[in-house]
Chains A and B, each alone.
Chain A
Amino acid sequence: MEITVTINGKAHTADVEPRQLLVQFIRETVGLTGTNIGCDTSSCGACSIHLDGEAVKSCTLLAVQADGHSVTTIEGMASADGTLHPMQQAFMENHGLQCGYCTPGMVMAATSLLKENPNPTEEEVRIGLEGNLCRCTGYHNIVQSVLACAKG
């Protein structure tokens, strides 16, 4: 089935099998490998992207479900001139990553969280990121990064 998905502002048209997952479309068909696959069971959040501006887990969507919709991945967060998104900058300044595997998903989930709740408490950040696991267990600095970004 032919689908067109706009990813980071650019339309991508491809003929896909209905069973192709959106994360495979992003990584293998389009070649954007910043979105990671972790648990592959919609638990860990490593594959989080924005679908029409909201965080979703791309391992639990079919590519055909995103047909005609707009996706943002971690590659679409920084400006064209390389200036980091404020959330990426906050993760860098607050040492919000260790091995980095969960980081793209964390950044996508955290930006979606701040869109819905621009001034969260620490507890609200922790609850808001419950769908993202960090196996380095580096949650403290991840939460600090999100709070720092919210404060601007």
Chain B
Amino acid sequence: MIPAAFDYVRASSAEEAISLIGQYGDEAKFLAGGHSLIPLMKLRLAQPTVLIDIGRVSDLSYIRDAGEHIAIGALTRHMDVENSSVLREHVPLLAHATSHVGDPQVRHRGTIGGSLAHADPASDLPATTLALGATYVVTGPNGSREVAAADFYQGYLTSTLAADEMLTEIRVPKMKGAGWSFQKFNRRAQDWAIVGVAAWRRGNESGVGLVNMSSVPVLATSVSAALASGASIDDAAAQAADEADPQADLNASVEYRQHLARVLTRRALTDASS
């Protein structure tokens, strides 16, 4: 399968990339690792007329300890997130969840910013960063703004990114010793999750993110509220699907997805509490 024809330009810096997307507008797409975009283009589900290759913008590939949070450059590859000693120490849930993205070949190319900006609710990282209370830094022609992960996702493959903006950094609060777990249920190796759960817990505080349980990644706030008020794990997990609005597909009915969300949340919280 061959993508439809497009023009190809390379950006050597974030500023140049933003200037180029401003110039080309809605018809252009950023190409980072390309592991979400190129398959869509080969299927002709996406047909941008211009690709702006940001894969060579090396100054957006970094993982830095910024005190209360870890700052991750948007073009940091999954393999580098997975193997980062800084993340394994301070945000182990993100490093671990990233090791479940695709397969090693995909993780050698795919980037954290590309995955988040693609805004696929079936991807592992949107729900994981949502559970962790991450903030995304978005840069446009007039400078940068911060967007909470909870405000970023607007609908299926849709985010608050404007046509002339680029996701440049992901800020993830340190987990400070919180227990955590990542549960991904699928039937075949390397598949997307039928349902996934990313969870952490520290005392009365917790965060539970659901993968593939709506048109956007879902924060299971009822679960965290129940835990904070002293509910048992079983009782809290029973509310896991309360904020969700799952779709039926070839893999699972709505009811089955809701069931999986409850079971996986119970397992995740048990794991995170042990």
Contact = CB atoms under 8 A, between A and B. Distances in A.
Given A19-B4, A42-B39, A43-B190, A60 B108 contact: no
Contact of B35 (A42, A45, A109): A42
Interface string B87-114: 0000000000000001111101100000
B2 interface: yes
A130 to B, nearest CB: 4
B243 interface: no
Contact of B39 (A17, A41, A64, A127): A41
A141 to B, nearest CB: 18
A57 B3 contact: no
B108 A56 contact: yes
Interface in A17-75: 17-21, 24, 40-43, 45, 48, 51, 54-57, 60-62, 64-65
B34 A57 contact: no
A60 B38 contact: yes
Interface in B1-16: 1-8
A27 B38 CA distance: 19
A17 B109 contact: no
A18 B2 contact: no
Interface residues of B, number: 27
A86 interface: no
Contact of A19 (B3, B39, B104, B108): B3
A99 B6 CA distance: 37
How many chain A residues sit at the interface, stated as a range, is 20 to 34
Contacts of B7: 18
A130 B103 contact: yes
Contacts, number: 81
Contacts of A20: 2
A18 B8 contact: yes
A18 B8 CA distance: 6
Interface of B: 1-8, 31, 34-35, 38-39, 42, 51, 53, 55, 79, 102-106, 108-109, 189-190
Given A55-B105, A62-B8, 14 more contacts: A18-B51, A19-B3, A20-B2, A21-B2, A41-B42, A42-B39, A43-B190, A51-B108, A60-B34, A60-B35, A62-B31, A64-B53, A65-B55, A131-B105
Interface of A: 1, 17-21, 24, 40-43, 45, 48, 51, 54-57, 60-62, 64-65, 109, 112-113, 116, 127-128, 130-132
